[in-house]
Homo-oligomer: A and B are copies of this chain.
Amino acid sequence: MRRERERAERERAIVAAARELALAEGWDAVTTRRLAAEIEYSQPVLYSHFKGKDAIMAAVAVEGFAELAAALVSVRASAADPRQAVADVAAAYVAFAEQRPALYDAMFTLAVDLPFASSDVPTDLARGFAELAETVRPFAGDADLEVVTETFWSGLHGLVTLMRSGRLRREGHQRRLAVLVDRFSR
């Protein structure tokens, strides 16, 4: 049906516009009015596709999960050895967050109502998490792999967010990352 196709196309346009605007100027610049202007429709149209602005942000975040997972998979596959894999994956994670701050915020910082720690986690998020898990597995010892992975992830997330909000100086970043990697790869 043509109508449905056009409708799906418009929905994609909304998410794309939100993503571009957020990446270029941050989420504060993403208003429903600007979004509507961008897709050349009126404001209420957005609400026939999404429940609200949060839902649009969630849709953008879901795209991000796929990209992050892909980046981690690729990097881990081409790592020389398990220890190097931890370093590479950590670097890739941080690079992803650094290069797409707004995207990262939607995924992991801002309050978007997505089912995270529940049964039906977004597939791509689970894939990214699984990739992290496989990376640290050789060094988990007899500890629960999921717990170790979550802790490692928290370390990366903390580094990223504290630096981006100005709480950590940018210059020590490489050394901090090295410390974290060291503590989780032996």
Contacts and interface: CB of A to CB of B under 8 A. Distances in A.
A120 B178 CA distance: 27
Nearest to A159: B154
Interface residues on A, range: 20 to 34
28 contacts: A108-B167, A116-B167, A116-B168, A117-B169, A143-B179, A144-B175, A147-B172, A147-B176, A147-B179, A150-B162, A150-B168, A150-B172, A151-B155, A151-B159, A151-B179, A151-B180, A153-B158, A154-B159, A154-B162, A154-B168, A154-B176, A155-B155, A155-B158, A156-B158, A157-B158, A157-B162, A158-B158, A158-B159
In this complex, which of A143, A148, A158, A161 has the most chain B Cβ atoms within 10 angstroms of its Cβ?
A158
A25 to B, nearest CB: 15
Contact of A161 (B158, B176, B184): B158
A166 interface: yes
A155 B160 CA distance: 11
Nearest to A170: B117
A99 interface: no
A179 B109 contact: no
